[in-house]
Structure 1
Amino acid sequence: MLELKNVNVHYGVIHALKDISLTVNDGEIVTLIGANGAGKTSTLGTISGLVKPSGGTVSLDGKELNKIIAPDRVSLGVSHVPEGRRVFSRMSVLENLELGAYLRRDKAEIRKDMNNVYELFPILGKRNKQMAGTLSGGEQQMLAMGRALMSKPKILLLDEPSMGLAPLLIMEIFKIIKNINEIGTTILLIEQNANMALSIADRAYVIETGRIVLSGTSKELLASEDVTKAYLGG
């Protein structure tokens, strides 16, 4: 479904991604784990079109995305929930969700998907007229995810969905991520909480200083001494 092949990214003289290759198959949850500054966010930005690679290819369902601008990638099925949520704080919950469907014209399906988002995130339905900036951090994360789902993505890119949240909310967010996947959305997840990420993912990649250094099933990485020492507090 999604394939990155030998992707490189430079920020001036800084070589942020170095020959990154990874795949996400249809229906999977794949997680990319690594320390701050390892290149995780740059990887997602390259997929969604926010970051321009200096080499390599990004493709979705066999279609190369390198020359396709970010808005057009949304219409092809790529949806990105950025780190820090980035909700439109002076707009209502409903307006944020409607913006997620901005490129769509299938009004009946949009209404259906809006109802599906409210089923996944009941609090958003209760607060649909409330300004997004007045929501709690957890509620804003739910809104950012709901807004992304309104574009009807083939693949959902999640950047640090648990950041700044209380432990109980983290558990809830990850349960919802699993539910989103089970109802048909493929997910590529970046997450500092490696234990939680590996607990729901099918496969995982480990990135260090811009390079993929390890990959395998989540069970394999959970059993790895190196991963345990570096990321799981072992």
Structure 2
Amino acid sequence: MMLEVKDLCVSYGAIKAVRGISFYVDEGEIITLIGANGAGKTTTLNSISNIIKKQSGSIFFNGNDITAVHPDKIVRQNLIQVPEGRRIFANLTVLENLELGAYLRKDKDGIERDMERVFGFFPRLKERIRQNAGTLSGGEQQMLAMGRALMAQPKLLLLDEPSMGLAPILVDEIFEIIRRINADGTTILLVEQNAFKALSIADRAYVLETGTVTKSGKASDLIADDSVKSAYLGG
């Protein structure tokens, strides 16, 4: 397996945000974590990237224990996160944001190829290459955040709420691009409030409630599950 999370626990003071969850991601999959606000989804991703401190548990990536590895060294292993809220560099151009995604790389030809690959997924970024990122629409900023991550050549891409704040037509576009990125060879772990969309493109899914995994299985099975339907799919 590519990623294995074992008995992960994370607390914020007295609040237990994640309570001993375990799950795995195999190479080539799209795996989604779904659940209500406060279920522990973003905390889980931030724990994998070691942005926040874990209370206990272990995380393995491609067989290596990365539980206590510094975030920049996790990036060097090609495990890349697109954070909630995009976190683009608003005062830099689209091109400069994308170049920063490749800051660890020295292969100039490879960087140029990947830049064209990103523009293949996101043609609008090429149209706006000299614009400051802060002048982009919300959907374009999400595309830029994903494009910047792709410039780091992720083996595993962590996506945190990619559809947040987007118009429905843009949500459809973003999810189609996620599917294409996966088909092009990138494994994806997706956290997403839009459970229907997430389950529609995922291979498998885990349902989180108050920091614990309450259900897991094939996404196609969970999308047909009555309890999942009533809790997350509007009926």
Please state which band the TM-score falls in when normalised by the shorter chain. over 0.9
Match of 2:17 in 1: 16
Matching of residues 135-150 of structure 1 within 5 Å = 135-150=136-151
Q: Which residue of 2 aligns with 1:215?
A: 216
Q: How far off its partner does 1:88 sit?
A: 0.3
Matches within 5 A, 1:75-90: 75-90=76-91
Matched residue type, 1:185:
T
Distance across 2 between alignment mates of 1:16 and 1:206 = 15
Once the two structures are superposed, residues 96-154 of structure 1 have per-residue CA deviations (whole angstroms, 9 ceiling, x without a partner) of 00000111111111111011001110000111110000000000000000000100011
Q: What TM-score, normalized to structure 2?
A: 0.99
User: Distance in 2 between the 1:135 and 1:80 partners?
Assistant: 21
What is the alpha-carbon distance in structure 1 between the residues aligned to residue 41 and residue 140 of structure 2? Answer: 24
SS at match of 1:7: strand
* Structure 2 residue 173 is matched with structure 1 residue 165: no
Deviation at 1:79, TM superposition (A): 0.6
Question: Once superposed, which parts of structure 1, at least 4 consecutive aligned residues long, lie more than 2 Å away?
Answer: none
Distance in 2, matches of 1:67 and 1:33, equals: 26
Determine the C-alpha separation between the residues in 2 that align with 1:192 and 1:71: 28
Q: Which moved more, 1:106-115 or 1:134-143?
A: 106-115
Which residue does the alignment assign to 1:98?
A: 99
Measure, in 2, the Cα distance between the counterparts of 1:76 and 1:17.
25
Percentage of identical aligned residues: 59
Contact 2:5/2:60 (8 A) holds in 1: yes
Q: Could you tell me how far 1:29 is from its partner in structure 2?
A: 0.2
SS state at 1:88 partner: coil
Distance (Å, rounded) in 1 between the aligned partners of 2:69 and 2:21: 19
Give, as a single letter, the amino acid of the residue that structure 2 aligns with 1:192.
Q
Matched, 1:69 2:42: no
Determine the C-alpha separation between the residues in 1 that align with 2:170 and 2:24.
Answer: 29
